[in-house]
Amino acid sequence: MFQAESSTVMRRSPFGVDICCRKGSRSPLQELYNPTQRSLERVSPPWLELSNTAVLHQMRRDQVIDTCRANSIVSRKRRVLTPNDLKHLVVDEDHELIYCYVPKVACTNWKRLMMVLTGRGKYSDPMEIPANEAHVSANLKTLNQYSIPEINHRLKSYMKFLFVREPFERLVSAYRNKFTQKYNTSFHKRYGTKIIRRQRKNATQEALRKGDDVKFEEFVAYLIDPHTQREEPFNEHWQTVYSLCHPCHIHYDLVGKYETLEEDSNYVLQLAGVGSYLKFPTYAKSTRTTDEMTTEFFQNISSEHQTQLYEVYKLDFLMFNYSVPSYLKLE
């Protein structure tokens, strides 16, 4: 449908890049690659901190590019993306931002922020927006809703960013949220019943009907089953970031991490010129999936299944510089 841009993207220096922008104000893309004196005065000591941040984000961009090249994902023939590939890319025209949302990586709060940014005064406090409201697709515009020339223009001139998380921690978070909460009946019916039917010997009629007691081992067996991937794409909550956001075909200017969520989020807001009055919502979630919790969940997974699961998520590990977890017993 339209040409992905990454095959022509060269590595950019953190400084000194001229990027066309709106009249009278600088775009986030300019602020990122060619910071103004004003940006430099905000940090102390200015050059040191800003250059450290710029270098960090350059390294993250390079890591993605290098992984794509090493795995021959950026082929000589340009890969053509379809509008359907772009339904996770949320557009903010007022601030020239594109955010690829990844479920289980603070995407509710980032969608709230995007509603504030695109709401033209309708919202001021992101936390006043109910979580379910943030997930109503009509409340945000995604890139697939534009014409091909409009898509290409925005991919070229808007600042594109995403947030990532340690892949297995994100997976356990998705499992806990979708399969251990009694209220998630739609997931139990849609996926739970199928997982139990395929993975559980001698399942009771009640389990087959309700699908509300899927074990983590069964969930893993379902994910690595070749039949699952042939049948349909993974649900977005456990789909790889590589498949949701297409980082080998779309050049992301900024890769934020869940581990440095607040810092990276506020950096995006600063680049967008709204950092003085809009901050990433901070609150400690007591139910948050931790590394310790993830380790526990993997205790009962056989080394064979761990190895196969790692292969499924391997590109996310490599691309976003997450090391192989110490608890894994890979074959």
pLDDT at residue 25, as a whole number: 73
**Average pLDDT over the chain, rounded to an integer:** 87
- The CA distance from 266 to 268, in Å, is 5
Confidence check: pLDDT of 75 > 60: no
Task: Tell me the average pLDDT across 245-274.
Answer: 96
Contact 252, 100 (CB under 8 A): yes
Q: Is the dihedral of CA 312, 262, 280, 86 positive or negative?
A: negative
pLDDT at residue 187, as a whole number: 96
**How does pLDDT run across 103-150, given as a tens digit for each residue?**
999 999 999 999 999 998 899 899 999 999 999 999 999 999 999 999
Confidence check: pLDDT of 235 > 70: yes
Higher pLDDT, 33 or 264: 264
Confidence check: pLDDT of 295 > 90: yes
Contact 57, 49 (CB under 8 A): no
pLDDT at residue 285, as a whole number: 72
Task: Tell me the average pLDDT across 273-289.
Answer: 86
Within 10 angstroms of residue 201's Cβ, the number of other Cβ atoms is 4
pLDDT at residue 109, as a whole number: 96
Which one-letter amino acid corresponds to residue 149? P
Which one-letter amino acid corresponds to residue 131? A
pLDDT at residue 328, as a whole number: 93
**How does pLDDT run across 34-72, given as a tens digit for each residue?**
876 555 555 555 545 667 888 999 999 999 999 999 987
Alpha-carbon torsion, ordered 243, 247, 249, 252, to 10 deg? 150
pLDDT at residue 6, as a whole number: 42
Q: What is the band of 18 on the pLDDT scale with cuts at 50, 70, 90?
A: very low
Q: What is the band of 9 on the pLDDT scale with cuts at 50, 70, 90?
A: very low
CA nearest neighbour of 252 among 140, 170, 322, 163:
163
Confidence check: pLDDT of 153 > 70: yes
- The CA distance from 191 to 219, in Å, is 9
Confidence check: pLDDT of 284 > 80: no
Confidence check: pLDDT of 15 > 90: no
The whole-model pTM stands at 0.88
pLDDT at residue 51, as a whole number: 76
Range with lowest mean pLDDT among 72-76, 271-275, 289-293: 72-76
pLDDT at residue 273, as a whole number: 94
Structure-token pair, residue 121:
């005064």
- The CA distance from 159 to 99, in Å, is 8
Confidence check: pLDDT of 11 > 70: no
Contact 271, 300 (CB under 8 A): no
